[in-house]
């Protein structure tokens, strides 16, 4: 079965640095996440968000697309996996959703070892979909592995020497 214009299990998203002040409202959703597996071919992520737990299996990126399968799991299982099976401190961030010209932008404000990093992501129906960029969106970093959460967990933003691309 396929979603309209998108294959099931395929994530298509573009990622950007945030400049200026995006219109963040509300408290946002606090996210803790870490990885059970991190390799070039696949990642297995554990996440807590909004009192729920999630397990995601992702393949390698090819442009803005990659295989992704995400499942809700019991919150207690997710917190136990984060505490006992993940080696490094988790990624800490607050996610805000901003509607702009028919698309939902997810703005992640990182905390902990990644404080100072703010990224915006937008999911698309296809890689060729046209996207109008809000004024607070800066440089695109879609293919830059340094901005993948799986990289940030092992190489925190606070330890980067030169933080610009």
**Which active-site residues does the annotation give?**
35
Contact 94/113 with Cβ under 8 angstroms?
no
Q: How far apart are CA 145 and CA 125, in angstroms?
A: 22
Using H for helix, E for strand and C for coil, what is the string for the chain?
CEECCEECCEEEEEEEEECCCCCCCCCCEEEEEEEEEECCCCEEEEEEECCEEEEEEECCCECCEEEEEEEEECHHHHHHHHHHCCCCCCEEEEEEEEEECCEEEEEEEEEHHHCCCEEEEEECCCCCCCCCCCCCEEEECCCCHHHCHHHHHHCCHHHCCCCCC
């Amino acid at each position: 079965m396929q979603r309209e214009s998108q294959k099931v299990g395929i994530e298509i998203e573009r990622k950007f640095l945030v400049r200026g002040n995006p219109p963040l409202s509300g408290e946002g959703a606090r996210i803790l996440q870490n990885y059970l597996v991190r390799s070039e071919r696949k990642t297995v992520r554990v996440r807590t968000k909004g009192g729920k737990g999630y397990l995601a299996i992702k393949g390698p990126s090819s442009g803005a697309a990659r295989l992704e399968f995400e499942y809700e799991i019991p919150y207690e299982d997710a917190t136990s996996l984060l505490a006992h099976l993940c080696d490094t401190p988790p990624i800490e961030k607050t996610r805000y959703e901003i509607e702009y010209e028919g698309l939902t932008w997810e703005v992640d404000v990182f905390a902990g070892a990644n404080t100072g990093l703010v990224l915006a992501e937008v999911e698309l129906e296809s890689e060729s979909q046209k996207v109008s960029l809000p004024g607070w969106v800066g440089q695109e970093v879609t293919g830059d592995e340094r901005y993948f959460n799986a990289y940030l967990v092992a190489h925190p933003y606070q330890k980067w020497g030169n933080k610009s691309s």
